[in-house]
């Protein structure tokens, strides 16, 4: 009997896995195999936020949102990333994904995310099928749905790295995919692997994740990186978040409500200079022009907050500046030479985190 797979995204929890004909099948509580066209459909569970400790223990994994991960999973991923920093060409470690294929399916522009994922699997011996500007140059331009695209590409690749312009698209893809889906950014929604590399960078730069003060600056409404980062940092003790943004792009209410429910202290402030003197991490983001319908609002928001030498004079000597990149003009170029400017080191960490994620996703399946 040929076995097919369908992901269960809502109300499901992973309990255990079994192997059948070389395929990992994770059942969910109280699930009954469905029937489609006379063939058995095995339901494999998506890990809901309530099961955050389970992610790294699953065989087959999706990376959809930051709330999937708990401290135990982060420790496992970060330990793997530290090992990835040591991988050398020609060694056995550089061949662990030999024969594995990654598809990068990008409906929005990307430089760092797409290239770091493609570099990640290449460093580990795998290969890449790449589609850039998929909305224009794939069958989506002919009206094909995302679900049909995923069902097709899963036949050619062992995992799919997806960037899409709609929030929630990664969950839609995971719902129908029999191979791991890795969310590389879903519109103004989330960017979980960016949050992983951000938290990894904070741990390397600052040395701790508890009792941390972080200022998030810029486009906090549309910035998927700050959304995922806020969710992920909320699991650590003593974290305080400052939100500095023009009113038109203030942090989403749902995220502030979530943080309050988790007991996380947060504060919205207007004075970047004053806040800079009180934080361990200054996390800057660009105002996202592509998310604006009214260019007058964009013009009013852009340039309101800029990290320059004056701001750096206020920043503590042991603090760091992070930025998911690309930058436009929100960090002055003269800041780059300051040792506290960690954003290019942060980008390098993206390779190691994505090597770790791809390895953990693929070796289980």
| 133-179 pLDDT tens trace | 655 555 555 578 999 999 999 999 999 999 998 989 999 999 999 99
**pLDDT attached to residue 123:** 98
Is the predicted pLDDT of residue 266 greater than 80, yes or no? yes
Which 3-state string (H, E, C) describes 225-293?
HHHHHHHHHCCCCCCEEEEECCHHHCCCHHHHHHHHHCCCEEEECCCHHHHHCCCCEEEECCCCHHHCC
d(CA 50, CA 34): 25
Region 180-185: mean pLDDT is: 94
The answer to whether 8 touches 30, Cβ cutoff 8 Å, is: no
Whole-number Cα distances in Å, 166 to 189, 195, 241: 8, 19, 27
**pLDDT attached to residue 7:** 35
For the entire predicted model, the pTM comes to 0.83
Strand order in the sheet with 101-106: 127-131, 101-106, 159-164, 181-186
Is the predicted pLDDT of residue 2 greater than 90, yes or no? no
More confident residue, 170 or 30: 170
The answer, yes or no, to whether the previous bond of 192 is cis (omega within 30 of 0) is no
Lowest mean pLDDT across 62-66, 85-89, 140-144? 140-144
**pLDDT attached to residue 15:** 31
More confident residue, 9 or 102: 102
**Cβ of 101: how many Cβ atoms within 10 Å?**
16
Q: Does residue 191 carry a catalytic annotation?
A: yes
Give, as one character, the DSSP assignment of residue 337. Answer: G
Average pLDDT along the chain: 83
Proportion of the chain above pLDDT 90, given as a percent: 62
Q: Is 10 exposed, middle or buried (0-12, 13-18, 19+ CB in 10 A)?
A: exposed
Is the predicted pLDDT of residue 30 greater than 60, yes or no? no
Residue in 56, 61, 62, 163 annotated catalytic: 163
Is the predicted pLDDT of residue 43 greater than 70, yes or no? no
Region 206-215: mean pLDDT is: 97
**Beta strands 4-8 and 39-45: pairing type?**
parallel
Residue in 104, 113, 149, 193 annotated catalytic: 113
Phi-psi group of 44: left, alpha or beta (phi > 0 → left; psi -120 to 50 → alpha; rest → beta): beta
**pLDDT attached to residue 13:** 29
**pLDDT attached to residue 92:** 96
Residue in 13, 57, 112, 240 annotated catalytic: 112
Which 3-state string (H, E, C) describes 146-206?
HHHHHHHHCCCCCEEEEEECCCCHHHHHHHHCCCCEEEEEECCCCCHHHHHHHHHHHHHHH
Q: Does residue 44 carry a catalytic annotation?
A: no
Q: What is the CA radius of gyration of the chain?
A: 21
- Nearest CA among 49, 61, 53 for reference residue 12: 49
pLDDT digits (tens, 9 = 90+) for 295-344: 777 777 777 899 999 999 999 999 999 999 989 899 999 999 999 999 99
Residue in 19, 142, 296, 317 annotated catalytic: 142
d(CA 351, CA 35): 41
d(CA 177, CA 7): 7
Residue in 191, 213, 227, 302 annotated catalytic: 191
**Beta strands 101-106 and 127-131: pairing type?**
parallel
Q: Does residue 112 carry a catalytic annotation?
A: yes
Cα-Cα-Cα-Cα dihedral of 173, 179, 184, 188, to 10°? 20
- Nearest CA among 188, 219, 187, 189 for reference residue 302: 219
**Cβ of 246: how many Cβ atoms within 10 Å?**
20
Q: Does residue 113 carry a catalytic annotation?
A: yes
pLDDT band at 284 (very low <50, low <70, confident <90, very high): very high
């Amino acid at each position: 009997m040929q076995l097919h797979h369908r992901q269960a995204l809502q109300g499901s929890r992973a309990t255990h896995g079994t192997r059948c004909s070389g395929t990992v099948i994770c059942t969910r509580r109280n699930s009954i195999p469905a029937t489609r066209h006379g063939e058995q459909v095995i339901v494999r569970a998506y890990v809901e936020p309530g099961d955050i400790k389970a992610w790294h223990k699953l065989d087959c994994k999706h990376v959809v949102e930051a709330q999937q991960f708990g401290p135990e999973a982060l420790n496992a991923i970060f330990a793997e990333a530290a090992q990835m920093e040591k991988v050398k060409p020609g060694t056995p470690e550089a061949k662990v994904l030999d024969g594995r294929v990654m598809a990068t399916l990008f409906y929005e522009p990307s430089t760092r995310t797409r290239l770091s994922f493609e570099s990640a699997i290449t460093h580990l011996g795998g290969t890449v099928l790449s589609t850039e500007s998929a909305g224009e140059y794939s069958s989506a331009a002919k009206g094909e749905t995302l679900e049909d695209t995923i069902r097709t590409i899963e036949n050619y690749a062992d995992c799919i790295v997806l960037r899409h312009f709609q929030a929630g698209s990664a969950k839609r893809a995971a719902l129908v995919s029999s191979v791991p889906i890795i969310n590389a950014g879903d519109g103004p929604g989330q960017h979980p692997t960016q949050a992983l590399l951000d938290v990894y960078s904070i741990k390397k730069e600052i040395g701790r994740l508890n009792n941390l003060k972080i200022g998030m600056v810029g486009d906090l409404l549309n910035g998927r990186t700050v959304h995922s980062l806020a969710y992920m940092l909320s699991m650590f003790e003593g974290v305080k978040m400052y939100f500095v943004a023009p009113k038109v792009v203030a942090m989403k209410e749902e995220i502030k409500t979530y943080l309050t429910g988790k007991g996380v202290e947060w504060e919205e402030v207007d004075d970047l200079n004053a806040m800079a003197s009180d934080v361990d991490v200054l996390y800057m983001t660009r105002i996202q022009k592509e998310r604006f319908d009214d260019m007058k609002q964009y013009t009013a928001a852009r340039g309101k907050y800029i990290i320059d030498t004056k701001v750096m004079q206020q920043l503590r000597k042991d603090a760091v500046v992070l930025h998911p990149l690309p930058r436009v003009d929100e960090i002055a170029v003269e800041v780059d030479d300051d040792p506290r400017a960690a954003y290019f080191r942060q980008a390098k960490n993206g390779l190691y985190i994505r090597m770790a994620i791809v390895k953990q996703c693929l070796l289980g399946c």
